[in-house]
Amino acid sequence: MLPGSQYARGHNVRVPDDPYLWLEDITGDDALAWVRAHNEPTIAELSGERFEAMRSEILEILDTDARIPYPGRRGEYLYNFWRDEANPRGLWRRTTLDSYRTDAPDWDLILDLDELARTEGENWVWAGPEVIEPEHTLAMISLSRGGADATVVREFDMRTREFVEGGFELAEAKSSVSWEDEDTLLVCTDFGDGSMTESGYPRIAKRWRRGEPLDNAETVYEAEPSDVRVIASVDRTPGFEHTRLGRYTDFYNRIRYEVRDGELIELKVPTDSSLSLHREWLLISLRTDWQVGEVTYPAGCLLGTKFDDFLSGTADLAMIYEPDAHSCLSSVQWTKDKLVLITLRDVASHVEIVTPGTWERTDAPGIPPSADTIVVDIDHLGDEVFYNSSGFTTPARLLHGTAGGPLVELKSAPAFYDADGIEVEQYFATSKDGTQVPYFVVGRRAEPSPTYLYGYGGFQNSLTPGYIGGIGRAWLARGGTYVQANIRGGGEYGPGWHKQAMRENRHVVYEDFAAIAADLVRRGITTVEQLGASGGSNGGLLMGVMLTRYPELFGALVCSVPLLDMKRFHLLLAGASWVAEYGNPDDPADWEFMSKYSPYQNISSSASYPPILITTSTRDDRVHPGHARKMTAALEAAGHRVAYYENIEGGHGGAADNKQAAFKSALTYEFLWQNLAR
């Protein structure tokens, strides 16, 4: 039970006072003093020759010019945002494809974020541009202070390479914008009192015309305060212009409208489905079964039809892809005339090209077998596609060509660690309910070794087997083993793999991860004393549960930007948007199952916990740093030792630049090296 008995453990009763509630609210000098008091001993303990070596090695990987400068096509140019040692905040730049093909492309500078930050005295972090298409003349650039989700959005002229004086500009908020034309935006932002949802996102979409005050912008759609956020987007493809409005009623469900002649036409599809509208075609990706007439389309499938036929009710729905027990849809993206479809089969990528209309599928040529392959960029106005392919031990290759045509290797990354003798194996652990849960083991298999187990398990996010340069250099090269867990809650086997772990079934996420931990020991890959685990955000919640429910399985844990107080998560920052994932703690029935795993409420002063490092960011405006602070304070009060590090910048990513990212990663590895038996 927690010190002060603010919760009755295992019961649906709240005892009034939470003695650490103030850690959600402290700011300024008080917050800085608390952070320093916890950061300094942790840094002192973890600093040393090995830490400095790993920090330098990771920073070298992050900053090296040998990295692939991943491109994005906009008109005749390839654009890239680049950070390195000389430009820690970054350069937005462009070049031609012919120049990009060379070993030393001639980059044309568009915006120097370091110079902008110096000039304006702001800690700007790049959050990306919204470029008008197909003209590519103007952009609304989002800039974050210190890496927060909230951004300042400012109009930028890509011809003069200057911010537009007197142009469109939005104050700091979690905004989104879309160009209707060069003088008109659809804007979702903080318009003042009552304009934000309970999740902290905009609930009102307005049409903002050049030269008029934002307060005078015309309201075009409103979501409810209890919704997650409003939706407003414009597709300006010539001849196929579309405007869509709508609202997320929760994290997974949306009500969507097509706007035609000022009329809102509701798109009658399952609210939890995903849509892709391209030219005359509509794709529908299902999360749940959908009955249309006498036909039931299964969850996880992909359907295609002509959009106008769908609106008129005469659509012939074609089954483009149907999953099986071992495979699922990973992504779909359009060129002008083709669809690139990527699936996962037991977490391995498979790329196919689909011809709309006939919906014929053919394997994409030139993709390396057994590689983790993603689309880096695709030209929806042409036929160009860029792929990135890699594996745990195979450095990235950037492939370029046309959808269905031959591919050439444009760029390749160097090996950042010596993979000679390192093996990659996929195993399956048996979870408590009998489910077979896959995981990858990467390392040299001579004898049990210090093992770094990573997991996430939520929001249908898939962990795939891409190249691990930093882990390779800091962990594998020093004799460690790396394990990646594909537990339920993720999307590795489609929506069903995720939905099995939602709300009252959340416990299976933790049972899956615990099963993998035990399986690693059973197979002789590691020992309990040599097994460490790490996770961030939802994965930080996973680490909190491992600490409080499965401490006997681990030698050390690292818990980053975590959710930990599940009684109050929905009251903090964006937390209300995740009620669909976890449940509503204000509902006694929901709190009954949530209270059994919520880490903050399940700390025990009599339990023996493995060493834990908890990290967060002061500027995290998605998952409140109060989770990490309160957990640290409560653990300390219960007599447990906690290493703690809070970056005053970084946002939910935990780092605002490469130096901070290298520092934070080195803390994780050094903490594990110090606490896992050799």
pLDDT on residue 15: 33
Q: What is the pLDDT of residues 243-260, one digit of tens each?
A: 999 999 999 999 999 999
Q: Is 457 left (phi over 0), alpha (psi -120 to 50) or beta?
A: left
Residue 57 one-letter amino acid: E
Q: How far apart are CA 553 and CA 199, in angstroms?
A: 36
Look at the block and give the residue holding tokens 């917050």: 31
Q: Do 101 and 127 contact (CB within 8 A), yes or no?
A: no
Q: In the predicted model, is pLDDT for residue 218 greater than 90?
A: yes
Q: How far apart are CA 182 and CA 166, in angstroms?
A: 14
Q: How far apart are CA 427 and CA 484, in angstroms?
A: 10
- DSSP secondary structure string for all residues of 240-265: --EEEEEEESSSS-EEEEEEETTEEE
Beta bridge partners of 436: 430
Task: Output DSSP code: residue 414.
Answer: P
Phi, psi for residue 32 in degrees, rounded to 5 = -65, -40
CB atoms within 10 A of CB 618: 19
Q: Do 631 and 600 contact (CB within 8 A), yes or no?
A: yes
Closest to 232 in 3D by CA, of 211, 201, 194: 201
Q: In the predicted model, is pLDDT for residue 4 greater than 60?
A: no
Q: Strand, coil or helix: what is 568?
A: coil
Q: What is the pLDDT of residues 269-281, one digit of tens each?
A: 999 999 999 999 9
The residues assigned a catalytic role are 537, 652
Structure tokens at 594: 């949530």
Average pLDDT over residues 114-132: 98
Q: Do 111 and 91 contact (CB within 8 A), yes or no?
A: yes
Residue 531 one-letter amino acid: L
Angle of the 507-522 helix axis to the 538-549 helix axis, nearest 10:
70
pLDDT on residue 418: 96
Q: What is the pLDDT of residues 455-489, one digit of tens each?
A: 999 999 999 999 999 999 999 999 999 999 999 99
pLDDT on residue 12: 29
Look at the block and give the residue holding tokens 């250099």: 473
pTM attached to this predicted model: 0.95
Q: How far apart are CA 549 and CA 553, in angstroms?
A: 10
Q: Strand, coil or helix: what is 653?
A: helix
Q: How far apart are CA 153 and CA 168, in angstroms?
A: 8
Q: How far apart are CA 99 and CA 79, in angstroms?
A: 12
Q: What is the pLDDT of residues 595-631, one digit of tens each?
A: 999 999 999 999 999 999 999 999 999 999 999 999 9
CA 203 to chain centre: 22
Q: Residue 36 to residues 30, 448, 660: CA-CA distances in angstroms?
A: 10, 37, 16
Q: How far apart are CA 651 and CA 458, in angstroms?
A: 20
pLDDT on residue 554: 98
Radius of gyration of the chain from its Cα atoms, rounded to whole angstroms: 25
pLDDT on residue 1: 27
Q: In the predicted model, is pLDDT for residue 521 greater than 80?
A: yes
Look at the block and give the residue holding tokens 């031609």: 96
Q: How far apart are CA 347 and CA 365, in angstroms?
A: 20
pLDDT on residue 2: 25
Interstrand relation of 407-412 and 423-430 (parallel, antiparallel or unpaired)? unpaired
Average pLDDT over residues 231-253: 97
Q: Do 512 and 429 contact (CB within 8 A), yes or no?
A: yes
Look at the block and give the residue holding tokens 């489609």: 494
Q: Do 303 and 346 contact (CB within 8 A), yes or no?
A: no
Looking at every residue in the chain, the average pLDDT score rounds to 95
- DSSP secondary structure string for all residues of 210-238: TTS-GGGPEEEEE--TTSSEEEEEEE--T
Average pLDDT over residues 39-45: 97
Q: Do 512 and 493 contact (CB within 8 A), yes or no?
A: no
**pLDDT band, residue 677 (cuts 50/70/90):** confident
**pLDDT band, residue 370 (cuts 50/70/90):** confident
pLDDT on residue 11: 28
Q: Strand, coil or helix: what is 147?
A: coil
Which residues touch 386 (CB under 8 Å, ≥6 apart)?
70, 71, 73, 375, 376, 377, 378, 398, 399, 400, 410
Q: What is the pLDDT of residues 303-342, one digit of tens each?
A: 999 999 999 999 999 999 999 999 999 999 999 999 999 9
CB atoms within 10 A of CB 459: 17
Q: In the predicted model, is pLDDT for residue 6 greater than 60?
A: no
Q: In the predicted model, is pLDDT for residue 13 greater than 80?
A: no
Closest to 268 in 3D by CA, of 205, 312, 215, 224: 312
Beta bridge partners of 319: 303
Look at the block and give the residue holding tokens 């489905």: 273
Start-to-end Cα distance in the chain: 34
Percent of the chain with pLDDT over 70: 97
Look at the block and give the residue holding tokens 């400068």: 69
**pLDDT band, residue 7 (cuts 50/70/90):** very low
Q: Strand, coil or helix: what is 384?
A: strand
Q: Do 247 and 230 contact (CB within 8 A), yes or no?
A: yes
